[in-house]
Amino acid sequence: MKFFLDTANVEQIKQGLAWGLCDGVTTNPTLVAREGREMEEAIREICELVGPDRPVSAEVLAVDHDGMVEEAQERASWAENVVVKIPVIPEGVRAMKTCSDMGITINATLVFSCGQALLAAKAGARYLSPFVGRQDDIGWSGMEVVRQIATMLRMYDALDAEIILASARHVGHVIEGTQCGAHICTMPFKVLDQLFKHPLTDVGLERFLSDYRAMQEELGEA
């Protein structure tokens, strides 16, 4: 499974890259606004930081076909690794088709059902982003939607898309995503950091080091 960071925070991306655990970045208007930055300068900086081989999703703000296509062309011109995020509303699916025909890489966002994922994949979206956490918030199973999309993609070779498990809220979402066929998980930095954590690792490391130190002290004293 590839790990994307779901953030527009440059320091978090730098840390993820330093760990060798950032295969790409996704943003949305909320995440960019949280950094208090204009979309274009934030996305350009992130694209340069991660390098040309790691995709960076930048979302459109328009909600009509022509506006989305215009914004998609603009975002795609910012860097070669920009992926344009378009919502799976009817105008969005139309725009996905137009943009993918132009060679622009699309990430279909705000996916909450397998039906929406099917529409986006048929329109040429390269990435399908089911929002797992937000689905769980309303008492549905976001992971079940991931499972359905993964089954659908396995059945139809012509649907050439990858699942980005989005709206991941905790480590459990990442782990379950690996079992359900998500190709990528995009996660907040906090979740990436939590993946390292286990109390027995800390206790075990402390014991290994103190046992060895004790033996060295004994030898030193002898």
Catalog residues that contact ligand G3P under the rule CB under 6 A. Answer: 6, 26, 28, 131, 133-134, 166-167, 186
Residue 116, amino acid: Q
Q: How many residues does the chain have?
A: 222
- Whose tokens are 């906090």? That residue is 190
Residue 57 CB, nearest distance to ligand G3P (Å)?
8
Residue nearest to ligand G3P (CB): 167
Q: Which is nearer to ligand G3P, 68 or 110 (CB)?
A: 110
Active-site position among 14, 85, 97, 197: 85
Q: Which is nearer to ligand G3P, 94 or 134 (CB)?
A: 134
Mapped onto helix, strand or coil, the DSSP state of residue 59 is strand
Residue 187 CB, nearest distance to ligand G3P (Å)?
8
Residue 156 CB, nearest distance to ligand G3P (Å)?
25
Output the CA torsion 184→186→190→192 (10° steps).
20
Mapped onto helix, strand or coil, the DSSP state of residue 6 is strand
What does residue 45 show for φ and ψ, rounded to 5 degrees?
Answer: -65, -45
Determine whether 85 is an active site residue. yes
Q: Which residues are catalytic?
A: 85
